[in-house]
Amino acid sequence: MLKALLTDIDGTITDPTRRISTGSMETIRSLVDSGIEVVLASGNTSCFMDALSKMIGTKGTFIAENGGVFRIGFSGPLVIRGDQTIVKTALTVVQDHFQKQGISLDLFSPTYRFSDLAFARTVPADEVRMVLRDYPVQVIDTGYAIHLQAPGINKGTALIELAREMGLIPADFLAIGDSLNDIQMLKTAGIGITVANAHPDTKAASQYIAGKEYGDGFVEAVEKYYPYFRAR
């Protein structure tokens, strides 16, 4: 039996313009009202995730910064994973590289990030990887931003720790995603699902592919597996 749902946000419970699907929100609220834990997972900052959790209607548990940060409930402390010192050094190297080309990186909320650092996809991710080939950092292209993260940090490793803190195991979770940064999350969860718009490599890591895209695919997947959920 499944006891919790873990879902990505952008591209999974949104539409192509990143507006949250109303059907997704209704589905999440229905699960929460039924006693099912719902955890949001994203590359976004923890403050963004806190507000989004309130607006959508979860109990406040989330994974942020692609696994670099997580929190249990609204009152729980932030758990920070990884060494941002390494990431800051790598970002300086990347900034210097592109500055020589007359390009300034557009950083995304660096003040509110505790584990990774992210910037706009205005430069090629492969070139960033080339520049940082000798540095111990991951370069993660989510399709919405480029993130620099310490090695070994991802949504899947965060799920393992988060589940333990919740008194659960990863097999208790149904996970839904669409992007490359969701692959480890899908592999770690008991059941991993992708929506129809997912990256081909992400689909290959899932156990079920929804026939519909974006938020509609999310609703389809939850409805399919709803009979397997059990309230805690």
pLDDT in tens, 30-61: 999 999 999 999 999 999 999 999 999 999 99
For residue 87, what are its two tokens? 């990431």
Let me know whether 73 and 157 are in one domain: yes
Statement to judge: residues 159 and 118 lie in one domain? no
Instruction: Provide the token pair at 103.
Output: 């390009």
Specify the CATH number for the domain of residue 121: 3.90.1070.10
Let me know whether 111 and 65 are in one domain: no
Closest CA to 182 of 162, 201, 160, 163: 201
The answer on 142 and 198 residing in a single domain is no
| Band (232; pLDDT cuts 50, 70, 90) | confident
Coil, helix or strand at residue 152: coil
| Claim: this prediction has a pTM higher than 0.85 | yes
- The per-residue DSSP string of 88-134 comes to HHHHHHHHHHHHTTT----B--GGG-SS-EEE-SSS-HHHHHHHTTT
Domain count for the chain: 2
Instruction: Tokens for 77, please give them.
Output: 């402390």
pLDDT tens per residue, range 127-138: 999 999 999 999
Q: Check whether residue 65 and residue 88 sit in a common domain.
A: no
Residues 12 and 69 in one domain: yes
Residues 73, 173, single domain; the answer is yes
C-alpha 148/C-alpha 85 separation (Å) is 11
Neighbours of 91 (CB within 10 A): 22
Point out the domain boundary residue: 130, 149, 168. Answer: 149
Same domain, 10 and 102: no
Residues 56, 115 share a domain: no
Q: What is the pLDDT of residues 160-212, one digit of tens each?
A: 999 999 999 999 999 999 999 999 999 999 999 999 999 999 999 999 999 99
Is residue 8 annotated as part of the catalytic site, yes or no?
yes
CB 52 within 8 A of CB 19: no
CATH code at 12? 3.40.50.1000
Domain boundary among 149, 178, 193: 149
Q: How many Å is the Cα radius of gyration of the chain? A: 17
**Two structure tokens written together for 134:** 């000798």
Same domain assignment for residues 157 and 76:
yes
Task: Mark whether 55 and 157 lie in a shared domain.
Answer: yes
**How high does pLDDT run on average in the chain?**
96
Catalytic residue from among 8, 116, 182, 216:
8
For 130, the domain range is 84-149
